[in-house]
Structure 1
Amino acid sequence: MLQRSIGNLAKATGVKVPTIRFYEQIGLLPAPQRTLSDRRVYGEAAVGRLAFIKHARQLGFPVEAIRDLLRLSDSPEQPCETANALAAEQLSAVRAKIAQLQVLERELQQMVDAACIGEVANCRVIEALHDHTLCAGEHQTERRPTYAGL
């Protein structure tokens, strides 16, 4: 069985070493075996699991949903209603984000279309950023925590 160092695992999967450690810390990746010199070593199962996690993150799934999807993946005899529900929930979140981005796009387009010529004292962009009531609509975006290398 091929054993990889954390650096080789990172190269094989395109996931940064600190992110691999983070996934171990939060329990998405099981603790690896250790050599006599206490270095982490990973088998092929870790490559597959890390690829799964990376793909789920690319699709925007939150960590808790990924945890649930991994549990399902580890028990293939279970019905897949939960996986379907998690995917539907993520699709809904993506659609909501797209709607937010469309509002932002319209507001920014209005700022650009105002195309102030002259001094900053008369600039629509600066005015709108100072006074939210000048904006055409609500466009507050939700900020999710980011994780190293994601």
Structure 2
Amino acid sequence: MRSSELATRAGVNVQTLRYYERRGLLAQPPRSPSGYRAYPPDAAAVVRFIKRAQDHGFSLDEVQELLHLAEGGPEDCDAARALAEARMAALAERIADLQRMQRSLSQLVDTCERPRSDRCCPLLHTLHDDDGDHR
């Protein structure tokens, strides 16, 4: 199938397919005599696998590893699980960081309730202050 057909079937754009090829996630297909890429029927499943893995928070490097593991045997399930557990831990850390940022901003915004004549903006002061971390 041609690039446009694969892109439609997989729900991505053609540039995404080319990017996946450059990254080695999607095998470069042979070309037809007229120069068009001729993807095999299973290419759509590979692209959907990549997109689903990304939707679960995996980086493209991790997706490449998962694709490799998907070709292996039952012992590869343990490796896939370890990769997923590491991704879950990284997501939990990122969520904690985002929640900390949200709390910090909320506290700064709350100080904006003072009368305008009685305040200097603590939000701007904190962002300009370069004496260290204000967690």
Distance 1:54 1:41 in 2: 21
The aligned residue for residue 123 of structure 2 is 125
Task: Check whether the contact 1:107–1:135 (CA below 8 A) recurs between aligned residues.
Answer: no
The aligned residue for residue 27 of structure 2 is 30
Of structures 1 and 2, the larger Rg is shown by: 2
Q: How does 1:70-149 map to 2 (within 5 A)?
A: 70-75=67-72, 77-79=73-75, 80-115=77-112, 117-118=115-116, 122-133=120-131, 136-137=134-135
TM-score, structure 1 normalization? 0.79
What is the root-mean-square deviation of aligned Cα atoms in Å?
2.0
Distance 2:48 2:41 in 1: 11
- CA shift at 1:133, angstroms? 4.7
- CA shift at 1:123, angstroms? 1.5
Q: Sequence identity, in percent?
A: 35
- CA shift at 1:129, angstroms? 1.3
Task: Check whether the contact 1:32–1:42 (CA below 8 A) recurs between aligned residues.
Answer: yes
- CA shift at 1:23, angstroms? 0.8
- CA shift at 1:132, angstroms? 4.9
Count, aligned residues? 132
Of structures 1 and 2, the one scoring higher in RCO (CA 8 A, sep 6+) is 1
Structure 2: stretches of 5+ with no match in the other structure: none
4+ runs of 1 displaced by more than 4 Å?
132-135
Structure 1: stretches of 5+ with no match in the other structure: 138-150
TM-score, structure 2 normalization? 0.86
Distance 2:91 2:48 in 1: 21
